Amino acid sequence: MAVAAVVFDMDGVLIDSEQAWADAREELTRERGGIWPPGTQERMMGMSSTEWSRFMHDELRVPMEPEEISEAVVERLARRFRDHLPLLPHAREAVERLAARFPLGLASSSNRPIIDLVLEIAGLAGSFRATVSSEEVPHGKPSPDVYLEVARRLEADPSACIAVEDSTNGIRSAQAAGMRVIAVPRPDYPPSAEALELAAVRLDSLAELTPRVVERAATTA
């Protein structure tokens, strides 16, 4: 199969941001008198902004409207990223290496303002031909919506696209869209063993992500 495009996730793949998201959400929740049970961040991973802000309102008892919750969390996160963008090792090189060979897309659960801010600060905005936030589609990950929309904007058959993911819901989302998946697991929020079984290729680091690996993933059953 010829590779039509490579689609990256952002949080946990390009930036080490899961803890930053957790901190911003937990701070707001506790400041407003809500609850934060163990495992809360893991439950929200992959949700779109409309989904996790509703979850914070309904389940964590944050006494704000979901839209206000989303805006407040994004504002906190944007301040953190302007002070320090936690770009993961080899992320910029991996993107630039693959952009020289394939059309690139980005399928992220982050809000649109965060996607644009991260790519601008990282100097990678020009490397991606299409970027989609899950807040722009009906359902967040693990539903395939965000990956299908990226493929549509790239005018690429999803079955000819390779996704680069780190999380359980992200892997399931890309696989459900018909894409083969390269998994680059994060040790702090590792995907489930069942999700990893869905990946065509598993890497320890983005340093290993090369055009040859992408082409190998395309031919792996």
Q: Find the helix or strand (DSSP H, E) in which 117 lies.
A: helix 112-122
Q: Catalytic: which of 11, 23, 58, 166?
A: 11
| Whether residue 9 lies in the annotated active site | yes
Residues 6+ apart with CB under 8 A from 218: 1, 2, 3, 160, 162, 180, 200
Radius of gyration of the CA atoms of the chain, in A: 17
DSSP state of 130: E
Nearest to 191 by CA among 180, 179, 203, 207: 203
Distance, in Å, from the CA atom of 121 to the CA atom of 82, rounded to the nearest integer, reads 8
| Whether residue 11 lies in the annotated active site | yes
Distance, in Å, from the CA atom of 124 to the CA atom of 50, rounded to the nearest integer, reads 26
Q: Catalytic: which of 9, 23, 58, 116?
A: 9
- Give the catalytic positions in this structure: 9, 11
